[in-house]
Amino acid sequence: MIANTLSIASKSSQISDKHLSVAYAGEMIQQRPLEPTSPPSSTRRRPFPHFSEGKSGSPTFFPQFSPETATMTDTNTMEALAELFGTSTKNAAIRAVKLKLTPVCGRCCGTGAYSFNQIDGDRCFGCHGSGHAAVAPSNIASVVAAARLAIADGRHARYLDALANQRQAAEMSKRIFEAWRASAAARGNPSHTLRDEDCTEQQLRCRRANARIAAAYEALTPLDVAHKRNPTDDDHVAWKNALDTFFAVIAETDALLSEAGVAA
């Protein structure tokens, strides 16, 4: 009886020792830190090319030039584009879109119009109506190359001329109304509620002179290039001719009214 009890006790101690060893081994496995595993160097993923480390250790938006990036060079940057155009980086980005040097917008396919998945508005929200995408790191190389071609074939110079024409027209539109308001015809023009038969001879002359100025202004308005998107050289020449006619009419009417005794 005592022998059976001792054998059972020894077996139970062996079982408990086995359980303890298994549990201890499991605890050691759980506590053991995982060894870092990394793929082979041939299959290791390279960092995103648009965010590479510069010399100072801070991430840069454009990759530094290296033999690994054979398609990218240190000249394909916004600073290089701005230097080509002779302006700031902000204006260079706008000018590249205006000259259509960037890729066509993928949402509107270059139309700049309302897209089917747009909630409201009549212009594409991807390009804001320009029809071309903005300058990005993915297209900066092609934009710089296209900018060199645009400068070589004169498109950039024509764009600057058109931009100067628009600014001149915007400034001239203020002078138009100032000259009209200061003319003798406008100052002596009677109220529109006053009928012709109730006007004096001088008031009638001012009314007829003011009607001539109004007709010249109506001919000038459709040719105004101040707010046109892409005014051509012919548009500017036609606008300049109509503008000269407008000021000539004001000078002529003021001279006629002065001869008639109407104070200028």
Domains of the chain: which residue ranges?
Answer: 71-153, 160-259
Q: How confident is the model at residue 127 (pLDDT cuts 50, 70, 90)?
A: confident
What is the model's pLDDT at position 65? Answer: 33
Q: Is 262 exposed, middle or buried (0-12, 13-18, 19+ CB in 10 A)?
A: buried
More confident residue, 175 or 16: 175
pLDDT at 152 over 90: yes
DSSP for residue 126: T
Query: pLDDT, tens digit, for every residue of 20-56?
Result: 444 434 444 344 444 444 444 444 443 333 333 333 3
Q: What is the mean pLDDT of the chain?
A: 72
What is the model's pLDDT at position 59? Answer: 37
> Which of 89-103, 172-186, 221-235 is modeled with the greatest confidence?
89-103
CB atoms within 10 A of CB 216: 20
Distance of CA 124 to the CA centre of its chain: 13
Residues 6+ apart with CB under 8 A from 204: 196
Alpha-carbon distance of 230 to 228, in angstroms, equals: 6
What is the model's pLDDT at position 163? Answer: 83
Angle at 103 between CA 100 and CA 105, to 5 degrees: 95
Asked whether 35 and 49 are in contact (CB, 8 A), the reply is no
CA distances from 174 to 92, 108, 166, 171, 182 (A): 29, 36, 13, 6, 12
What is the model's pLDDT at position 21? Answer: 43
What is the model's pLDDT at position 194? Answer: 77
What is the model's pLDDT at position 71? Answer: 40
How much is the average pLDDT of 173-190?
Answer: 84
What is the model's pLDDT at position 145? Answer: 92
